Amino acid sequence: MSVRRVLIFVPIAVIIFLLQSYFWVPTYEEQTRGNPSRLNEYITASIGDASLLNPILSADSASSDIESMVFEGLIDRDEDLNFRGRLAKSWEIYEEAFFYINRYADIPGIGMARGGAVVQFLQSALSEDFEALPRLRVSLNNIKEIMLLPSCEYSVTRQEKAPGEGQGKTNIKINVHAPSRIKLVLKSVDQDLFKNLRLLLGKDYFTSFVAKEHIEIDRKAYQKKSAKYAKQILPATEHNPVVLFHLRGGVKFHDGHPFDARDVKFTFEAIMDPKNLSPRIADYEPVKGVEIIDPLTVKIVYKRLYSPALGTWGMGVLPEHLLNEEVLAAEAVSLGKNHEDFSIRQSSFNRHPVGCGPFFFQEWKSDQYIVLDRFEDYWEGTPNYKRYTYRIVPDLLTQEMEFYAGTVDSYSVQPHQVKRLSADSKYQSFSGLSFGYTYIGYNMRRAPFDDSRVRTALGMAIDVDKIIKYVLYGQGERITGPFVKQTDYYNDNIEPLPYDPDGALRLLREAGWIRNEDGWLEKDGNRLQFTLITNNGNNLRKAVLAIAQDAWRHIGIDVRTDLLEWSVFIQERVNTGDFDALILGWSMGIEPDLYQIWHSSQTNSHQLNFVGFKDQKADDLIVRIRQEYDHDRQVAYCRRLHEIIAREQPYMFLYVTKWTAVLDRRIVIAEKVADGRLSYKKITPTKTGNYTFFFNKWTKLAEVPSFAAEG
């Protein structure tokens, strides 16, 4: 295909520039002629640079792309979407459950509750001869061990606002006289345990436990809060799910230092340290503690039911020896900074990362490229490619030209090119429906976006079907809510907002916005005016920006637009909440946990609920989804949450794209067979459409293999 055909509708100045760039770039054949090392280097391109290379801190796709090569988690999912071990070779999931001896309870068959009697009663109930309803029998059969823990006394401290002292804080000392309690070790997590045990111990056994009788507060002014404190300190029942990871031995970080359980514990503590401002805190807040059993065994105990628990340990593990307090303090001193305020977020590690993934960091030249080299001691075997280069090419046309020339090895096809490039015999192509969506997000902290009628009206003024038809060339589908469309968590019963400009004007009129003589909407003498922003380098978002501006101006809204470089867009506007409205997208996982993006506690700077969405019913459902282990009930909660978010319209949910990527047919999977020879086979995507799943086995051949040439 000629360059002329590609650039026919591009302004002449751009054509000249790109033609010059194109002819100045050596072709793939020219690169490899006398330089076979090009066969050993994989080069990809991105419209935006990484922000920082630390998996506990970053929240952008460019950083994530590099981190997935440099760092390794304890687990991930295989090509069939089942969890598989990475730095952990195996794991066990069970539960430790607790409840207090309730001296006021009258247990059927034994009378007043006493510690030893309750233990004996429970043990006798474990016998198959004991008659029990089926659901109670399921819970009883799941009990592995019963223990009586003695009563104890201790003190705790809570901080409260000092009465009559402005904004000052005061410490409240609480003396606790905890009664004895029962510990049950369960073979697996049983979210219905206490509901079922009520059938055995009496329906009021747990609810009649009076926790406040077992605490004393040293300050009379806070006595009225005794019930609240007691409920927190002495909950009548406690679910403590446990994940016991058995780590892989012999794994090394890129600097040769051995990986062990200390690194897992350190990574968790680094996420939870408020100084680091990690956006991942919400995923790990349910963890009660991380205990090192031995160098290759780590026990993670949760303080409550948390169904996404296992999946969170796909997080890349940090090297404790390079980021501990002593190392950070020394770095702070060398930089002339106060070591007490210095955190991992300020560390040079974020531009020179060290992990134990398949590639190690080599060089980062901002807004130009990031270079990684393969790690020869990678635990799963050395990758086939010797080098991985991540180039920053903000212009998609330039990316396209460089792909044709062979100076980048992959290309994310634009919608208008799908039909043509998918049929081109020089390339292998992969496609599917994305796990995620594109949206317009409104800053609900600012007027007029604090009114749901305005947000809904803005959505009704935009013809999304035309965007899909003419901007995406049909390579997309409407979406109405926050869950992955291919999963059963997504509520298919919710209809997209209709394209109805007149209806939008009626809603705006109801909200007090009336057109003035010049045709602009006004309220209390103020024009309905705001700025819509997105990142530069994404032509689809740029097109949506123009379409939204035109649609809103058509109904009398004065909309300005701005395109920002990716790093500025994320760090200075999104992370700080300094915007009116923006166009952005989410790449989603399979799990339905939306706490980080939608819970009201996640609206601070550097957190992911940057639009400021707050809704108590939504919060309750988000927490229920996290604590629900029954799939059908979890689906029901997700669909109700979908309804609430779709009704409130904190985002205008636009579309989910159909992605297509192309590679040269010379890139194949290469594996050694029994006699040591290499066997080649085609690249195939996983169930999620991840065609790079076996990237470490990819190689590029000098010639197209016969099976690839045949298609």
Looking at residue 294, its amino acid is D
Q: Measured in Å, how far apart are the chain's first and last C-alpha atoms?
A: 20
User: Are the CB atoms for 538 and 566 separated by under 8 Å?
Assistant: no
Looking at residue 286, its amino acid is P
Q: d(Cα 463, Cα 442) in Å, to the nearest integer?
A: 18
Give me the pLDDT at residue 709, please: 52
Residue among 189, 320, 331 nearest 265 (CA): 320
Domains of the chain: 3-71+361-433+660-710 (3.40.190.10), 72-87+248-356 (3.90.76.10), 96-240 (no CATH), 436-659 (3.10.105.10)
Give me the pLDDT at residue 21, please: 40
Q: How many CA atoms lie within 13 A of 409 on its CB side?
A: 23
Chain Cα centroid distance, residue 598: 12
Q: DSSP letters along 490-505, please?
A: S-TTSPPPP--HHHHH
User: Are the CB atoms for 304 and 189 separated by under 8 Å?
Assistant: no
Q: Identify the segments of the chain with pLDDT beneath 70.
A: 1-36, 111, 163-167, 707-711
Q: d(Cα 328, Cα 318) in Å, to the nearest integer?
A: 14
Q: And the tokens for 491?
A: 């509520």
User: Are the CB atoms for 639 and 405 separated by under 8 Å?
Assistant: no
Give me the pLDDT at residue 135, please: 94
User: Are the CB atoms for 645 and 617 separated by under 8 Å?
Assistant: no
Give me the pLDDT at residue 2, please: 32
CA 485-192-292 angle, 5° bins: 85
Place of tokens 């406040």: 212
Cβ-based neighbour number of residue 495 at 10 Å: 9
Give me the pLDDT at residue 690, please: 86
Strands 387-392 and 41-46: parallel
Q: d(Cα 323, Cα 276) in Å, to the nearest integer?
A: 12
Q: DSSP letters along 55-95, please?
A: TTT--SHHHHHHHHHH---SEEE-TTS-EEESSEEEEEEEE
Q: d(Cα 12, Cα 18) in Å, to the nearest integer?
A: 10
Q: d(Cα 694, Cα 383) in Å, to the nearest integer?
A: 10
Q: d(Cα 513, Cα 506) in Å, to the nearest integer?
A: 9
Q: What is the pLDDT of residues 167-210, one digit of tens each?
A: 677 888 899 999 999 999 999 999 999 999 999 999 999 999 99
Give me the pLDDT at residue 15, please: 38
Give me the pLDDT at residue 24, please: 40
Place of tokens 């599917």: 432
Q: Is 24 exposed, middle or buried (0-12, 13-18, 19+ CB in 10 A)?
A: exposed
Give me the pLDDT at residue 110, please: 74
Give me the pLDDT at residue 132, please: 87
Residue among 211, 244, 225, 265 nearest 100 (CA): 211
Q: What is the pLDDT of residues 121-151, one digit of tens each?
A: 999 999 888 888 999 999 999 999 999 999 9
Q: d(Cα 215, Cα 232) in Å, to the nearest integer?
A: 11
